């Protein structure tokens, strides 16, 4: 479980998420793929926080947790994002009876 393996895992997760966001029509699947990407970034953040210690800060333990602090905020933002995203999906469904984002072309001329 060293840094390179974690980074590669994170890259694979991120790219699968990216594929999902780009290639799927179902809005809910797109949101789930977004969550995958968030998780990939979180894994990378925690891995860096664990394995990479900037020289000169070893004596200040608080600064060693910077990566984990980032993850806390990313999780918060991801939760907010999924809540809003699903609210939009529900609104879309109510107004247009669809969850297909290729048909959600209200703003297209």
Residues 22-41 that bind another protein (CB under 8 A): 22-26, 28-29, 31-33, 35-36, 39
**Tokens of residue 102, six digits:** 């290729």
**Tokens of residue 73, six digits:** 């905020």
Taking the complex as a whole, the smallest distance from the CB of residue 9 to another protein amounts, in Å, to 5
Question: Using the 8-state DSSP alphabet, how is residue 107 labeled?
Answer: T
- Contact letters (x/-) for another protein, 54-83, by CB under 8 A? xxx-xxxxx--x--xx-xxx-xxxxxx-xx
- Residues that contact another protein, how many (by CB under 8 A): 75
d(CA 62, CA 68): 11
């Amino acid at each position: 479980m060293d840094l390179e393996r974690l980074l590669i895992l994170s890259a694979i997760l991120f790219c699968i998420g990216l594929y999902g966001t780009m290639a799927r029509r179902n809005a809910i699947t797109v949101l789930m793929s977004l969550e995958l990407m968030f998780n990939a970034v979180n894994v990378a953040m925690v891995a860096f926080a664990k394995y990479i210690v900037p020289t000169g800060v070893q004596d200040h333990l608080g600064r060693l947790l910077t990566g984990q602090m980032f993850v806390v905020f990313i999780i918060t933002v991801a939760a907010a994002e999924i809540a809003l995203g699903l609210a939009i999906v529900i609104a879309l469904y109510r107004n247009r009876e669809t969850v297909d984002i290729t048909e959600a072309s209200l703003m297209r001329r």
